[in-house]
Structure 1
Amino acid sequence: MRILSVALLLLFAAAIWWGLGRESDGEQVSVVSRAAEVAAQGDSLSARAIPNDDLPPDGTRSLFDHLVAQNDALPYPFEDLVAMIQRQAGVESTPVMLAIPLGRSLLKAQADFHRPRVLYAADFDGTNTPASLGVAARARLFLGFVENAREIEVISYNEAAGRYEFQLVQDYAADGQRRIVYARRAVCMTCHQGGAPIFPQRPWNETNAQAGIAAGIRAARGEAPYLGVPPQVPLAIPERFDELTDVGAFTVTLQRLWIDGCGGDATCRRTMLRLGLRYASNPGAFDADADEALGLRAMQAAHWPADGIGVPESDIRNRDPLAEARGWRARLHAWLTPAPDPDAGAKDNEDLDAFDRLPKLPAELDPLTPRAPKRRLAADALDGVYGVAALFSADDLRMLEAASGHEPRRLDAAVDALPDALFDAAPLSRVRLLQALLTQLGAPVPEYCCLDTSAMSAPVALSAPQLTLAAGSPLQPFAEYCFSCHRGNPAARLDFMSGDTEAAVAANIRGKPEIRDALDWARYENTAQASKLMPPADSAEYARMRAALARDPQLLARMREQVPGLFDF
């Protein structure tokens, strides 16, 4: 009997070890420690040309910032933000959106079936016109919104800098002071390894394309769409999202192929562009073994990094959170451990210690676990050629063909005549190359919406201290009803409530006399000038101010007293 008891105790101990110990592989993975590793940047040509700083390089901004600036404000609610982005397509375009209630993001503890994390990916390239180039948004703009955390995570391509930017929209709520900041890049890259977007592998069991996840959402909130996403989406949606993240990973790789693959050899890059345009024009006729392609390989061989050029692994292992919850190990774990604290977990992207205190995933499922590159490209690869071809939209290629009179030799000659500076070891830009080629071909050169930063305000880092107002500050109503549009707005002309201190913000407000009339509702409401009144009538801030005025009719008068002078509409 004693032997049997000992055997049962050993078996029980083994079960506990097996049931709980599976997490041990991941216990040492900490977002804080991993961020310190990521921050140690290499010394390759591309690392010097495309730095890993939190803020974008001077004179460059993310596509997201450009779109918000041109819209004059950050749209709210989330459906309006998605609609604003989708309008850039110029034609009817269905947004790629899905929901993940039980995910692996930094904000995973704040998402649930009632308010799941909603993901969006842009899947369009805008239409070119003689006056402007279309917005290249496909696989270049991704959003992840967790309503309980009041935060949107943004991954957005920077055309001029040749990298994805990691941003946050903080306090994104009807009563929030919505703020766009650049995140701590090293923290983001602990999961987004290689600086690229990521997504699980098929069959995408975490998403609402799976019946069990969809059923949980329906049980929590019914059949109505949530933030524009129905309870269940077809499998084609996560499949397309997955494809777009793969494109994003190769977009990052293309910059290394362009810079590191050719080293200091401008002729190598010029040849890569010429062959890329040739392949894009007629893929079926492209000869990968022709003399010029062999010549490119030879030039690459002289400069190629010794360890090759890796394609970031944008796929993380599929995870089935419902199966995990049903397993006997999960039941044993729940029986032996206290109930989780409903307030545990990161409340936002600054709450890293709280995230690290959450139970760990098995290492193979944890996005923090370092992943080997999807593949390593050798010097004989022509992936740079194919990447350059994919850089240009179908409209871009039609423009170039029309400008060259559909004569490939004229386009080749235009490439040969481009200034040497375009082939420096610097980020590859679709817009700059396209505009330079059209110039050489004597064609009209359209402008591009999302490159010039001269009219934009300075970018804001997550680490920048937030403004704290004194108790009873006369600026409190401005913070409540105005800051979300006029503090940290990417458009410089609208960013007139910025400042590091309360005194600086007050001085900026006093220096903008237009504010006085924009708040004169009694004088201008229901007149031809009503559209100039602030906040805008279709905004959440307007509705809240209208309710506040019912309680405090002198609110607008006190706000106007902070601004001397009058503005003539």
Structure 2
Amino acid sequence: MTWRHSLHAGLLALGCGLGIDMDATAETRPPAPAWVVTPSQAGDNLPPAGRSLFDQLFAVSRNGQSSIELPYPFAALLERLDRELARDPASPLPPAKRVLIPLGRSLQRTAAAPDYFGFPRVVVAVDTESGAQSPFFLKDRLYIGYQEKSAVLEVISYNEAAGRFEFQLVKDYRAGGRPQVYYANRNLCFACHQNGSPIFSRALWDETNANPQVAGLLAASGRAFYGIPPDRGVDIPYAIDNATERANGLALTQRLWREGCGENELAARRCRAGLFVAALRHALSGGQNWAPDDNFRQTVAAPLQQEAGRRWPGGLAIGNPDLPNRNPLAGQDNWPEERAARIARSHVAAPFDPLLPRQTRDIWRPQAADALRTTIAGLAEFVSAADRQALDQALARQRGLASTQHTAPCRIERAASRWSVRCAPAAGQSGPSIDATLAVRGGRPTTGRIERLTLPGGTALINIELTSRSTDTGFALRWNGRLPRSADGQALTRLRVQPEAGQPDAGMVVLDSRADFATVEQAVAALLASPQGETLFGAGVIPRTALFAALLARLDSPRPPPCCQVADTLPPPRLEAVAAVPGGSADTPMEAGVQGFFPYCATCHRSAETFPPNFLSGNATQVTARLRQCAPRLYVRLAMADLAPEQRDKTPMPPESMLPAFATDVAGWKNSPARAALLAQVDTWLRAESGQPPNLNALLANGYEALRPCLPMP
């Protein structure tokens, strides 16, 4: 009897002893959630549609030929990014956030060994809106890693047409080089990026130059780092962390849009149209809590809940972009002089390894109270600042719209230069509740600020600026640089404070709203009924650009500047390297023991790149020599499957998150004949060297990084 049969029999005996019906127990077990992005299913390496945002941003056309041109040096590339983005004049932070990571966890982590602090890796994230002149939607959608020593850029950027992040490499990014842009092997990328999007450390970001010890060693190197100050607080890594969190949610939104409402029948398209309107309302109102009406509940909320419950009864598991915080200098008072001691500090222990399978970030459940709000807020992340501005301007041009006055009694505390105004509706009445401070000149309020404004229906705003209107005695309202809106999307256009005659401490507030958002609802309804409706609201990826172009056209508004046509004429995208199955070579046939490594290792280790080591590239003689060179490390990574997770110094190979791609799991791989054969082959190579069987503890006595590297040092 095998161990599986023994365990199963033991469980059956235990169940019978307790009087439990095991089949009934299985039937009542709640269904497991489905992954939004399955870690072992990376998808096609090349884009199934469109191009990456990185391609679009750097595409140029010269003499009728399109190509990708990258500014060099890296400081120039950063300047180009910053020029595309809106700059906050009140913030000292650059628009594109960047940190220095000398001892990190990327594939390039050993490229600068042992001079890690002279050549740190740079991580760049775009977390701000694009500038007024930029046609690109970059916020949370572009991330770049740069390692000067390897002359490589690692790029993650969004592909709107495919509804996913693309992974790319830029090689030969150096002085005098000819940078070449490739799409990367997604299976390799997914081993760490198990959520299909950017990942980053949790606080306190001790790998970065937010760590004072790291910053001090960077400064001591005496190098300039592409204009990036080595001494930096936690504000920038915190901003990058937030950007990756938002980026992580894009896949959930795409999945819910594509499948949550059903297929392409009219009811499903009506559901998506309602979600789009709700997302616009959410974006224009600053994310206020709108109370859905009966029509929305019937056409959107109920169908979404029913369809999602049918498709994903256990909910949708959201991938986790967070890595545990790691301090590579923990316990290190001084940076060592010895090369081996420095290299030892690049070791990434198993608990901190991005290859370690990560638990879900959260589970979206269709029956949860916040499920609909999460869906709407996620869709609102596809509305850029330029989209909001264009829509606001289109609504401002609408004429003949109804206005509503909201009134409430006020208490006014008057001083020579300031009035404090507190307004609230009488008991049983509806109206605004307002706390405001007005600046007074010549006995007349001229400017002011609403500290708090609430209205029935969910409207709740703070810090609204008030400026005098030249046409009347009221105030114009501005909130975060634009017209404030109620939770249901209506523009709040004018505020008047009217003191009561003969009672200086009493008065009335009148707040005007303009019912312009109804024109958005009407325009979307017309689009839904038009021939475009089947495409715009069909069961595909979110057609963001087409949706806004069609909406603005319905509102008789100028469309935003076109984006990215040059990228459409680029040469076909190229794959960095194709993972291939083993074959014979011209000089020597491939030995069976060597061939056994290809099914499980070639996806990541047969490439043109040396990070990770490409020990399966070359002819039979070269591959065999490289495997022998790598034998100590291969043995450790294969043997780790025999240890309990808490006992492991390194993560096992292949990465456990990728095992389903090999039609197995953790237990299956541990006990598989395939792993046993690989271990036996490595054992043979190591015995031939030392005359002794390999011993895991002995191999790791001086640390994993002390083992000879998989590729001979140059």
Shared fold per TM-score greater than 0.5: yes
CA distance in 1, matches of 2:257, 2:333: 49
> Per the alignment, in what secondary structure is the counterpart of residue 70 of structure 1?
strand
Corresponding residue number in structure 1 for 2:255: 256
Corresponding residue number in structure 2 for 1:500: none
The reply to whether residue 277 of structure 1 matches residue 252 of structure 2 is no
> Per the alignment, in what secondary structure is the counterpart of residue 287 of structure 1?
coil
Corresponding residue number in structure 2 for 1:391: 382
Corresponding residue number in structure 2 for 1:462: 576
Contact 1:45 1:260 in 2 (8 A): no
CA distance in 2, matches of 1:234, 1:272: 39
Corresponding residue number in structure 1 for 2:645: none
Post-superposition shift, 1:45?
Answer: 11
Q: Deviations over 1:357-408 (max 9, x none)?
A: x96522x311111112211111141212112223212331232133232611
CA distance in 2, matches of 1:174, 1:114: 18
Corresponding residue number in structure 1 for 2:479: none
Q: Deviations over 1:486-528 (max 9, x none)?
A: xxxxxxxxxxxxxxxxxxxxxxxxxxxxxxxxxxxxxxxxxxx
Once the two structures are aligned, what percentage of the paired residues are identical? 35
CA distance in 2, matches of 1:148, 1:196: 25
The reply to whether residue 301 of structure 1 matches residue 305 of structure 2 is yes
Contact 1:97 1:229 in 2 (8 A): yes
Structure (1/2) with the larger strand percentage: 2
1:148-297 alignment, distance < 5 Å:
148-219=149-220, 221-222=221-222, 224-264=223-263, 265-283=268-286, 286-295=289-298, 296-297=300-301
CA distance in 2, matches of 1:378, 1:45: 12
Q: Deviations over 1:109-128 (max 9, x none)?
A: 12411100011112332245
Segments of 5+ residues of structure 2 without an aligned counterpart are 1-32, 62-67, 89-93, 399-490, 492-515, 528-532, 580-714
Contact 2:170 2:180 in 1 (8 A): yes
Post-superposition shift, 1:79?
Answer: 1.0
Cα 1:46–1:148 change in 2 (3 A) is closer
Cα 1:46–1:209 change in 2 (3 A) is closer
384-393 vs 192-201, which moves further: 384-393
Structure (1/2) with the larger helix percentage: 1
Candidates 417, 430, 433, aligned match of 2:544 = 430
> Per the alignment, in what secondary structure is the counterpart of residue 138 of structure 1?
coil
Corresponding residue number in structure 2 for 1:400: 391
Cα 1:319–1:120 change in 2 (3 A) is same
1:51-66 alignment, distance < 5 Å:
52-58=43-49, 60-66=50-56
Corresponding residue number in structure 2 for 1:441: 555
Contact 1:257 1:309 in 2 (8 A): no
Q: Deviations over 1:291-327 (max 9, x none)?
A: 3453323111222122322332111110111116579
Cα 1:303–1:453 change in 2 (3 A) is farther
Corresponding residue number in structure 2 for 1:567: none
Cα 1:286–1:218 change in 2 (3 A) is closer
Segments of 5+ residues of structure 1 without an aligned counterpart are 1-41, 346-357, 466-569
1:36-185 alignment, distance < 5 Å:
52-58=43-49, 60-70=50-60, 73-89=69-85, 94-111=95-112, 112-128=116-132, 134-185=135-186
Q: What CA RMSD, in Å, does the superposition of the two structures yield over aligned residues? A: 3.2
CA distance in 2, matches of 1:276, 1:56: 27
The reply to whether residue 322 of structure 1 matches residue 310 of structure 2 is no
Aligned length: 396
Q: Deviations over 1:59-100 (max 9, x none)?
A: x10111111113862211111112222222265753311100
Cα 1:51–1:146 change in 2 (3 A) is closer
Letter in 2 for 1:197: P
Contact 2:36 2:252 in 1 (8 A): no
> Per the alignment, in what secondary structure is the counterpart of residue 322 of structure 1?
coil
CA distance in 2, matches of 1:284, 1:121: 24
Letter in 2 for 1:457: P
Q: Deviations over 1:20-52 (max 9, x none)?
A: xxxxxxxxxxxxxxxxxxxxxx999999xx982
CA distance in 2, matches of 1:205, 1:323: 9
Cα 1:193–1:44 change in 2 (3 A) is closer
Letter in 1 for 2:58: V
CA distance in 2, matches of 1:396, 1:204: 34
CA distance in 2, matches of 1:288, 1:323: 50
Corresponding residue number in structure 2 for 1:411: 520
CA distance in 2, matches of 1:285, 1:187: 41
Cα 1:45–1:437 change in 2 (3 A) is farther
Post-superposition shift, 1:260?
Answer: 2.7
Candidates 450, 453, 456, aligned match of 2:564 = 450
> Per the alignment, in what secondary structure is the counterpart of residue 225 of structure 1?
coil
The reply to whether residue 371 of structure 1 matches residue 358 of structure 2 is yes
Q: Deviations over 1:115-171 (max 9, x none)?
A: 000111123322456xxx732111111110111121110011112111111001112
Letter in 1 for 2:575: A
> Larger radius of gyration, structure 1 or 2?
2
Cα 1:109–1:127 change in 2 (3 A) is closer
TM-score by length of 1: 0.64
Candidates 301, 304, 317, aligned match of 1:310 = 317
119-128 vs 156-165, which moves further: 119-128
CA distance in 1, matches of 2:364, 2:572: 38
Q: Deviations over 1:543-563 (max 9, x none)?
A: xxxxxxxxxxxxxxxxxxxxx
CA distance in 1, matches of 2:288, 2:95: 34
Cα 1:454–1:323 change in 2 (3 A) is closer
Cα 1:292–1:225 change in 2 (3 A) is farther
Letter in 2 for 1:61: R
Contact 1:431 1:448 in 2 (8 A): no
Query: With CA pairs under 8 Å and 6+ residues apart, which has the higher RCO, 1 or 2?
Result: 1
> Per the alignment, in what secondary structure is the counterpart of residue 192 of structure 2?
coil
Cα 1:288–1:368 change in 2 (3 A) is farther
CA distance in 1, matches of 2:332, 2:102: 14
Cα 1:437–1:169 change in 2 (3 A) is same
Letter in 2 for 1:65: D
Post-superposition shift, 1:228?
Answer: 2.0
CA distance in 1, matches of 2:289, 2:522: 18
CA distance in 2, matches of 1:45, 1:124: 26
Post-superposition shift, 1:177?
Answer: 3.0
Post-superposition shift, 1:409?
Answer: 1.0
